[in-house]
Amino acid sequence: MECGGTDSDTLVWPHYPTGLLTTPYAWNFLRQKRDKPKWCKWIWQKYQPPTYSACTWLALLDKAPTLTNLQRKGLVREVTSLMCKSEVETVDHLYLKCPFAAFIWSLVLRKMGLQRPRLAGLQAFVDWLDQTFPIGAPQHIMQVAFVAAIRCLWKERCTRLFQGRETHKLQVLKSLYSSVTNCFRGRSLIENNMDLVQLIAKNWDVLITAREFIPTEISWLPPLEGWFKSNSDGSLTSDRAGYGAIVRNCKGEPLRVVAVQEQRLSSINVLEYKAILAGLRLCQQLSLTHVHFESDSTTTVNWLQGKGCFPWQLLRDKHDMQARLADLSEWKMSHSYREGNQVADFLASWRMSSGMTVL
Ligand SMILES: [Zn+2]
């Protein structure tokens, strides 16, 4: 990319927003992308121990070394379930249909206030869980209980196979309960509707607290004495793109405003960034030295603070921004809620006949 002026040219890789080529970006560009299976969210969660997740992952892919899977590879002949000693040990049998597994699931689900449904297999079980526990603290608890149950069943099956010992199903259940409680020890789950979760919290000995809603009054606040504030905003609809900025002093008096209508529809973050730059230009026209910039876009505020994934298409504007900011004695950038940024919001969405208006 030719930067022009005194800046040296920059090499950009256009297939990633930052323009940088790294191994993860290249891999993501080359790999075949598919939708994530629904069960992903049931096995890769922060509360779940990775060993439990990995064990469940193998089970859901039918890659767990069950006796039937080992027989397929010619490693064993005997495939009778070690738990019930009557059926063939497949993944669905071991983890769901075996009377031993059925007993474990019945009591796990009873603690969630539910009855065990009749299901065709493990994948169908995850679909049912996904519908039954859409959000909230019960979902987090069930996610942990799900992988913990799979892990406990696998552990018990291995104890029987390799050590010739049998643990009573109530003992297995007890260790499952305590592993779920331990996963949440020292943590508190947040929940909107406490009425629905009191019993579940008690059953699993997990701390759940109510989400607090504290109303906040939001309005535009003037800058500190001797400072000026530039509020900016971008606007993008299906047929129009624009941005605007307003500069005000510490008494709240407007000094200058700009509204720009763009010819091309770009991304909202690009417009937000250009809006900040437009506000900065106004400040320089007014020879201001202390400026507080406010934008309601978290992404662009992060960009200004050197965080996040900066798009290479804006590199020229970035150089311009940096040079202009360096001319100010002091500046700061902060996020403002939309309610505190209403004038800039109006300027950004102002439908004008000409491309730019400065007042
Ligand atoms: Zn069995």
Q: How far is 33 from 39, CA to CA, in rounded Å?
A: 17
CA of 104 to the centre of ligand 1 (A): 13
CA of 93 to the centre of ligand 1 (A): 6
Q: Report pLDDT digits (tens) over 306-343.
A: 787 778 778 788 888 888 888 888 888 888 888 888 88
Q: In this predicted structure, what is the pLDDT of residue 313? A: 78
Q: Report pLDDT digits (tens) over 199-208.
A: 888 888 888 8
Strand runs labelled E in 2-136: none
CA of 113 to the centre of ligand 1 (A): 26
CA of 96 to the centre of ligand 1 (A): 9
CA distances from 17 to 25, 294, 308 (A): 10, 24, 11
Q: Of all helices (H) and strands (E), which one includes residue 324?
A: helix 315-327
Q: In this predicted structure, what is the pLDDT of residue 173? A: 92
CA of 132 to the centre of ligand 1 (A): 26
Q: Which of 190-204, 236-250, 259-273 has the highest mean pLDDT?
A: 236-250
CA of 54 to the centre of ligand 1 (A): 22
CA distances from 275 to 3, 204, 259, 282 (A): 21, 52, 9, 11
Neighbours of 76 (CB within 10 A): 16
Strands 241-248 and 228-236, bridge-based pairing: antiparallel
Which ranges of 252-334 would DSSP assign to H, the alpha helix? 268-285, 298-304, 315-327
CA of 129 to the centre of ligand 1 (A): 23
Q: What is the pTM of this model?
A: 0.65
Residue at 343: amino acid letter:
V
Give the residue from 282, 188, 270, 178 showing the smallest Cα distance to 229.
282
Model confidence band, residue 109 (pLDDT cutoffs 50, 70, 90):
very high
Q: Torsion angle of alpha carbons 107, 109, 114, 116, nearest 10°?
A: -80
Model confidence band, residue 252 (pLDDT cutoffs 50, 70, 90):
confident
Q: How far is 94 from 155, CA to CA, in rounded Å?
A: 11
CA of 100 to the centre of ligand 1 (A): 7
Q: Where are the domains of the chain?
A: 40-210, 228-358
Model confidence band, residue 7 (pLDDT cutoffs 50, 70, 90):
low
CA of 28 to the centre of ligand 1 (A): 42
CA of 144 to the centre of ligand 1 (A): 23
Q: In this predicted structure, what is the pLDDT of residue 69? A: 93
Q: Report pLDDT digits (tens) over 15-54.
A: 777 787 888 888 888 888 888 888 899 999 888 999 999 9
CA of 234 to the centre of ligand 1 (A): 62
CA of 288 to the centre of ligand 1 (A): 79
Domain 228-358 has CATH 3.40.30.10: no
Model confidence band, residue 3 (pLDDT cutoffs 50, 70, 90):
low
**Residues 199, 191 contacting (CB under 8 angstroms):** no
